[in-house]
Chain A
Amino acid sequence: MQLSYEKSVPGRRAIALDPLDVPEAVLPAALCRKEPAALPELGELDVVRHFTRLSKLNFGIDSHFYPLGSCTMKYNPKLAEAVAALSGFAHLHPHLSTSPAFWKHCQGAFELIHETEQWLAEIAGMKDVTLQPIAGAHGELTGTLLMAAYHRDRGSKKDTILIPDSAHGTNPASAAIAGFKVLEIPSHEDGTLRLDSVKAAMNDSVAGIMMTCPNTHGLFEPAVAEIADLMHANDALVYYDGANLNAIMGIARPGDLGFDVMHYNLHKTFATPHGMGGPGSGPVGVGERLAPYLPGPRVVKGEDGFELRNLEKSIGRVAAFFGNFMMAVRAYAYMSHLGKDGLRQASENAVLNANYIFAQLKHVYEPAFDLPFMHECVFTAVPQAKKGVRALDIAKALLDRGFHAPTVYFPLTVKESLMIEPTETESRETMDEFCDAMLEIAEAVDSDPESLREAPKTMPVGRLDEVRAARQLNCAC
C-alpha cells in the first residue's frame, strides 16, 4: 500500500484554523526553522481512507482469535472504552494535582486512583499499590529500584538478582537497567524451578529473585513458598512478575505466597487494550518490607477528601503523574463489573480453556512438559521440525487459516516452542475451529510440507526479508 507521503498533493489541506484574531507575532529568524516540516498534504477523506485501509491490514481481537501465549489477549470490553472517553477524565489536566489549590477540582480522579489501588492490593494480597509504572517492564524497573532502596537503607551491598532461565527477557533487562548484576538459574527439566537450584546460587550478594508464577511454561511453581522463605532468611527479596496473574485470581495471591513486590499488567489481566503494543500499564504492589519506599506522590484519604502525600523514604517519581491513568479507568470498570465472583471465574475459565485446547492437541503435538498446565499450554514442534516444518511455518500457516499465531520461540528454554493462551473470553466453537486448523496443519506436515513453508499466501504480503531490513536500514522516508 502507498505511503501517505506518496499520496501528498502540494497545497492540499485537511484542517483550516479560523483567521488569527490577534496581531501576528513574529519570532527572530535566527530562532526559526528554515523550511516547514515536509508533512503530507492531503484532504480529510484522503487521510480517512488511508488509515481505514491500513487498519484492515491488521488482525485484532475483535476480528480474530489471538492465542498468544504470555500475552493474555482477552476481549477488551466496550464499556471500558466508553468510560475512558468521559470528558471529565480524558480532558483532565494532571497539573491539577500539583497545587493543593486545585485538589478539590480533581477529587473524582483521586478517588478512582485510590479505589483501583485498593482493588489491586486485595486481588494480589499486597499492602499497597502504586499506579505510576507505565508498562509491565516499567513496573519491573520500579520494583527492582524499590528492592535497591530497601537494601541501601539497611546499609547492605547486595547487588545480584537471581532470575530463572524461563523468565521474560524484561526481567534480566529491568534488573540490569536498575543497576543489578543478573544470575540466571536453570529450570529443572520438568519445567519448574527447584529449591536446590536456587540454594546453589544463594550467597550474601543476592538481593532477591524475580519469579513468574505460574511460570512461562504455564506451570505453577511447587517450591515457590520455600524459595521465598530461603530469600527472607538471607534478607533477600522476592519479586513477582504478574504476567500470568490471569491464571490464579481468587485461587492464590502473590502476597500469600511470600512475594514482597510485584507488577500487574493491566493490559493483560484487566482487559485494557494492547493498542498494537502499547500503551500498557504496570502498577506495582508491595508488602510490608517495601511499602515505605513507594514512588510518590501518593493519593491518600484526608479529612477534606483525597490529597497527595510523599512518603519519607520514597524512591521519588517514576512517572510524571499517576502513570497511564486512563488504563486504570478501564481496569476499574472491568474489575467492578466482574467483582469478586467474576474475577475468579475469569481465571477458572482461562485455565479451563487452555486445558481444553491442550486435550485436543496433545496427541498430535508434543507437550513440552508433563506437569498440568494452567492458563497456557506449551508444545515443542521439534518432531515437525525434523520433517522440515518449523514452529515458524506452523505460525504462518495459521494466519492463512484466519487465526493469529501462538507465541513461537519463547520461552527460550523450549526448542521450537508453540505457546498457546486462549484466555477465558473465547467460546468453545472458536477453540474447536482453532484446534481443527492445528490438526489439519499437523497432517499437512506429512502430506504437503511445502505449502506450510510457503505460508502465508492470503495475507497482504508474504514472509518479509528481515535480513535486508536490518542491512539496508530504511526506517523513514
Chain B
Amino acid sequence: MTWVPSTAAERDAMLSVIGVQTIDDLFASVPAELRAKSWALPAGISEMAVRARLEKWAARNAGGVTSFLGGGAYDHFIPAAVDALTSRSEFYTAYTPYQPECSQGTLQSIYEYQSAICRLTGLDYANASLYDGGTAVFEATTMAVRLTRRTRIVCHASLNPIYRSMLETHVANLDLELVDGESPEGAACVIVQNPGFLGDIEDFTALAERCHEEGALLVMSFYPISLGLLKTPGEIGVDIAIAEGQCLGVPLNFGGPWLGIMATRKEHVRKMPGRIAAATEDAQGRRGFVLTLQAREQHIRREKAMSNICSNEALCALRALVYLTLLGKEGLRDVARHCHSKAEYLKKRLSFAQILNHGPTFNEFAVRLPRNAEEAADALVSRGFLAGLPLASLGAGEPNDLLIAVTERRTREELDAFAHALEEVCN
C-alpha cells in the first residue's frame, strides 16, 4: 500500500536524470554493516481494512454514557461550526507561519486567539498556546524563575495532583526546590489553581498581595469556562495565568491533543515562552501579522532560549477561538451559569452522601459516598453513567471519595436519574 504517486516508469526516468541505475544507489552512503538488522513489520492493509480495525477498537471504549467525569478535562458541548471550520485543510495541513505572506490566515487567527485569552483573563498578553495545562505549569515555573532569579517553587494544595507530579518530573534535574504550602517568602512563585482540583472557588487576591510584598509571583491555573462568571486572574492580581484549554471546543481525545493557555502582565512578556503573533504593516500600509519577539525562542537563542518549545497547539487554539467567537460575550456567561446551576442542583440531590467542599464551588465537587467509590463507579457504567473520578486512585482522597463534574450538557432529567442511580448502588 502506498501514498507515493510515482509509477515504476517515472522512477526509472527520474533515476536516469539523477544519473544512477537503481534506488539502492541513492543509499550508497549508508554502509552495509549499518543496514537495518530487522524489519519485522506486518504487510500493509487496505484503507477499508484499516478503518474496520480502528472502528472495532473505538467500539471497545465506553460510548453512549452520560458523563460526570472531570478532574481537569470536561465534557462540554462543541457546536458543529467548530468542527466544520477547523477541518478546513487550509488550516490543518499548513505549517508554522514562517512565511507570513502565505500564512495570514494562521497569523490573524493566532492574534485573535491571543486577544480572546486576554479579554477572558483580564491580562495584557497571551502567547499562541503551549502543549497543555500540565506542561504550562512547568513553563510558568521556569518563567517565574527567570523573572525572580529565585529557585523555590511553592505548590498550593489546590493544584491538580497530576500537574504537580508532571512538574516534579520536569524539574528533576534542575536546582529548584519544590515545596508544598502557600508561603511566598523567598519563593519564585506560588502556584495555585482556581477552582481547585476538588472544585473549591477561592479568592486569591490577598495571596497575590502577599506574593508581591515578598517579591514572588502568583501563578494561577484557571478553568476557562469558569471565567464566564468568576473573578479574572487580572482582577485577582495574578502574574502568570495558565490553563488547560480543552474545555473550549476541543474534544476529550483520551488526553490529547489539548491546549495549553498562558497569559501574563505587560512587564513580563519578554520572558514569556512560546510563539507570539503581532500586528504590523507592509510597505503599502496594509495591516498584516507576523511572529514576533523570536529572539526568546530556541531557533535563535538555542541553549539560552526561554523554552525549548518549537510548536504551539495551533489547531486546538483555533478550535478554542472559533468556540469563543461563536459563544460570544453572552454565550460564555450562559454556559458558565448553566454549569454552575446544574452542579448546585445535583449537589442538593445527593443528601445520602457527604459533600466535602465547605465553601462555594463552580461545576465540580467532591463527595464521600457510603460505599467504595471505585465499586460504585464501576456499577454505574452498566447503568449508563460515568459517575466521576474515584479520588483515591490519584491519592487525592479516601476510598469512598468521588469527584463529580457537571457541564451544560446534563439535563435535569439526567441529573435526577444519576442521583437516583448513585443512591441505589450505594445502598
Contacts and interface: CB of A to CB of B under 8 A. Distances in A.
Given A42-B328, A341-B43, A461-B282, A93 B386 contact: yes
B130 to A, nearest CB: 9
Contacts of A469: 278-280, 290, 292
A287 interface: no
Interface in B301-340: 301-305, 307-316, 318, 322, 324-335, 337-338, 340
A329 B225 CA distance: 28
A224 B132 contact: no
Contacts of A474: 278-280
A150 B219 CA distance: 32
Given A396-B101, A410-B299, 9 more contacts: A33-B230, A98-B71, A101-B374, A122-B40, A251-B27, A279-B131, A336-B45, A340-B42, A475-B111
Leading 8 A-B pairs by shortest Cβ distance:
A339-B44, A321-B255, A88-B58, A275-B315, A108-B60, A279-B257, A94-B255, A179-B173
Interface in B155-177: 162-163, 165-166, 168-170, 172-175
27 contacts: A3-B112, A14-B81, A14-B328, A15-B327, A27-B229, A37-B116, A41-B330, A57-B104, A59-B103, A88-B60, A95-B71, A97-B255, A102-B62, A125-B37, A134-B131, A145-B172, A152-B173, A169-B302, A251-B30, A277-B312, A318-B170, A336-B53, A337-B44, A337-B47, A342-B2, A352-B6, A427-B5
Contacts of B58: 83, 86-89, 108
Contacts of A462: 101, 282-284, 286
Interface string A121-162: 011010000000011111011000100110010000000000
Interface in B18-63: 18-20, 23, 26-31, 33-47, 50-51, 53-63
B97 A277 contact: yes
Contact of B57 (A88, A315, A427): A88
Interface in A347-401: 348-349, 351-353, 355-356, 358-360, 371-372, 374, 395-396, 399
Contacts of B235: 33-34
A88 B325 contact: no
A191 B53 CA distance: 45
Contacts of B116: 37, 39
A378 B19 CA distance: 19
Interface in B43-98: 43-47, 50-51, 53-63, 67, 69-73, 75, 79, 81, 84-85, 87-98
B179 interface: no
B370 interface: no
B313 A279 contact: yes
A17 B335 CA distance: 8
A222 B33 CA distance: 11
Contacts of B122: 33
Contacts of B307: 173, 177
Given A318-B170, A470-B292, A4 B3 contact: no
A4 B112 contact: yes
A25 B2 CA distance: 57
A408 to B, nearest CB: 9
B100 interface: yes
Interface stretch (B185-193, B350-358, B375-383): B375-383
Contact of A468 (B43, B71, B281, B389): B281
Contact of A461 (B88, B101, B374): B101
B329 to A, nearest CB: 5
Contacts of B255: 94, 97, 319-323, 325
Contacts of A176: 303-305, 308
Contacts of A40: 325, 328-329
Contacts of A342: 1-2, 44
A66 interface: yes
Contact of A30 (B124, B203, B297): B203
A174 B360 CA distance: 41
A102 B411 CA distance: 24
Contacts of B114: 475-476
Contacts of B169: 145, 295, 315-318
B104 A95 contact: no
B39 to A, nearest CB: 5
B349 to A, nearest CB: 10
Contact of A57 (B105, B118, B345): B105
Given A319-B255, A339-B43, A464 B325 contact: no
A345 interface: yes
Interface core residue of A50, A275, A317 (most chain B CB under 10 Å): A275
Contacts of B97: 276-277
Contacts of A352: 6, 11, 14-15, 18, 23, 26
Contact of A39 (B37, B95, B327): B327
Contact of B341 (A20, A38, A96, A278): A20
Interface string A445-470: 00000000000100111111110111
A61 B26 contact: no
Nearest to A30: B203
Interface stretch (A196-204, A230-238, A252-260, A436-444): A252-260
Contact residue range for chain A? 35 or more
A136 B322 contact: no
Contacts of A312: none
B221 interface: no
B59 A108 contact: yes
B209 interface: no
Contacts of B215: none
Contacts of B108: 1, 3, 54, 57
Contact of A317 (B70, B88, B165): B165
B427 interface: no
Interface in A14-33: 14-17, 20-25, 27-28, 30-33
B340 A25 contact: yes
B338 A355 contact: no
B63 A280 contact: no
B292 A136 contact: no
A154 to B, nearest CB: 14
A41 B329 contact: yes
A31 B303 contact: no
B202 to A, nearest CB: 9
Interface core residue of A108, A273, A322 (most chain B CB under 10 Å): A108
B37 A333 contact: no
Contact of B254 (A16, A89, A251, A427): A89
B151 interface: no
Nearest to B194: A31
